[in-house]
Amino acid sequence: MVLSSQEKTSLEKVTVVLPQVLKNEVLQLKKTLHVSMNTIYQTAIAEYVAKQKKEQLSKEAMLMLEEYKNNPEIQELIEFEEDIYAYERDLSCRFKPHKRCRDSKSKTMYHRE
């Protein structure tokens, strides 16, 4: 983890109590990775916070999806929006025909899907 200059000036010293087994594992990592214990702690905490934020966003997205699926007002808005898009597409084909808009026999434009 790399700290910006602003983050470095706003550091705060904290005390953490760890089980001896976990501290020994951190010491082993320190030797293996050739980094400070502080770097290991900062990285671990930053990754944990990022993971928690991601999980929270995922939960909120699932709630929104459920609301999206189950709320009749939202469904009405979706159908209304689809009608607007269909109307705009039909207008577009009237004034600027696309190859896919033409019926091969009559050369009339349509959008029935």
Q: Does 12 score more than 80 pLDDT?
A: yes
> How many structural domains compose the chain?
2
Greater confidence (41 vs 2) lies with: 41
List the domain range (segments joined by +) for residue 66: 18-70
Give the mean pLDDT of the chain.
81
Cα atoms in the 13 Å half-sphere on the side-chain side of 68 = 7
64 & 91 share domain: no
Asked if pLDDT for residue 61 goes beyond 50, the answer is yes
**Do 22 and 66 fall within a single domain?**
yes
What phi and psi values does residue 65 have, to the nearest 5 degrees? -65, -40
Q: What is the pLDDT of residues 62-84, one digit of tens each?
A: 998 888 888 888 878 777 777 77
